[in-house]
Amino acid sequence: MALINIMYMALSNLTILITGATSGIGEACARRYAAEGARLVLWARRTDRLEALAEELRSGGAAVLTQTVDVTNRPAVEAAVAAWPPSYQTVDVLVNNAGLSRGLEPIHEGDYTNWDEMIDTNIKGLLNVTRSVLPAMVHRGSGTVINIASIAGRTAYRGGNVYAATKAAVKMLSDSMQIDLNGTGVRVCNVDPGLVETEFSLVRFRGDGERAQSVYKGYQPLTGDDVADVVVWVSTRPRHVSIQDILITPTDQATPTIVHRTP
């Protein structure tokens, strides 16, 4: 039997920018990339958690630059990029992970503040970061952009309305990037996770832990590590291979709302 030569792109000494890096998928991605020897730029709003994660990763030998950045603040994003030391200025992989959901009200009872926060973070925040990093990738003729969207962007569900719309926008932006960047050497991947047990539901329900925990009862949800495995795998494909779109769900999940639960 002939041996199959599996090609991959090593991540050692590449620079990875991860937004929303202090919890859930972003934190798991930071740990996985650090284990691969990558150089990390970690962005988040919670400075204390950001520094605690960086200290942990540095103790394991990782090179980590942290910056407290709110991706909805365009001048702050631009200033953070401008402040990178020379060794961090070449971003090889951008993981657009910062995002959130607020509420489950029907659209005629929607909260304007919730709507603004989701649109500003999930769409405009992603655009702010991508616009600040992408030109250098295009100039070099290489780089990978990984946008963390959601299964909610593929199928509408009751109460999902604006959140689902923002994640559908992420999917459409990923598709548009594929077209606009064709021929530049820059790759784009849209990742749509299903139910992942992170702080997502706790944020959605503004700290209501009991309600948040009920989302994950009766089945085995994904973990941040499950999604991080996929993200890192996408990053390690050889340069001639582009993984454009991935949907990853728990085995017990069929759609955003059809989930097999046991008592």
Per-residue pLDDT tens over the stretch 48-103: 999 999 999 999 999 999 999 999 999 999 999 999 999 999 999 999 999 999 99
Residue from 59, 57, 77 nearest 68 by CA: 77
Q: Tokens 């103790």 appear where?
A: 59
pLDDT in tens, 138-172: 999 999 999 999 999 999 999 999 999 999 999 99
Q: Which residue has the higher pLDDT, 244 or 201?
A: 244
Contacts of residue 214, Cβ cutoff 8 Å, sequence gap at least 6: none
Q: pLDDT band at residue 110, thresholds of 50, 70 and 90?
A: very high
- The widest CA-to-CA distance across the chain, in whole angstroms, is 63
Mean residue pLDDT of the chain comes to 94
Q: What are phi and psi for residue 64, nearest 5 degrees?
A: -135, 130
Q: 3-class DSSP state for residue 151?
A: helix
Cα–Cα dist 200/244, whole Å: 25
Query: What is the rounded CA–CA span in Å between residue 193 and residue 167?
Result: 11
Does residue 211 or residue 212 have the better pLDDT?
Answer: 211
% the chain with pLDDT above 90:
89
Residue tagged 């069929």 (tokens) = 254
pLDDT at position 58 is 97
Backbone angles phi, psi at 39, to 5 degrees: -95, 130
Q: Count Cβ atoms within 10 A of the Cβ of residue 242 and give its class: 0-12 exposed, 13-18 middle, 19 or more buried.
A: middle
pTM for this one? 0.93
Average pLDDT (15-21) is: 98
Report whether pLDDT(237) > 50.
yes
pLDDT of residue 211: 82
DSSP codes, 115-145: HHHHIIIIIIIHHHHHHHHHHHHHHHT-EEE
Q: pLDDT at position 205, please?
A: 73
How confident is the model at residue 155, as a pLDDT? 94
pLDDT band at 198 (very low <50, low <70, confident <90, very high): confident
201 or 25, higher pLDDT? 25
From first CA to last CA, the distance across the chain in angstroms is 48
Which of the following is catalytic: 33, 88, 157, 163?
Answer: 163
Q: What percent of the chain has pLDDT over 70?
A: 97
- Can you identify the CATH homologous superfamily of domain 15-248? NAD(P)-binding Rossmann-like Domain (3.40.50.720)
Q: Is 163 a catalytic residue?
A: yes
Rounded to 10°, the helix 224-235/24-35 angle is 50
> pLDDT band for position 7 (50/70/90)?
low
For residue 76, give the nearest of 114, 115, 43, 101 by alpha carbon.
43
Q: Is the dihedral of CA 42, 47, 49, 52 positive or negative?
A: positive
CB 159 within 8 A of CB 167: no
Q: How confident is the model at residue 3 (pLDDT cuts 50, 70, 90)?
A: very low
**What pLDDT, on a 0 to 100 scale, did the predictor assign at position 209?**
74
Residue 6 has pLDDT above 70, yes or no: no
Domain residue ranges of the chain, discontinuous segments joined by +: 15-248
Q: Which residues lie below 8 Å from residue 40, measured CB to CB, with a gap of 6+?
A: 15, 16, 18, 30, 33, 34, 57, 62, 63, 64, 65
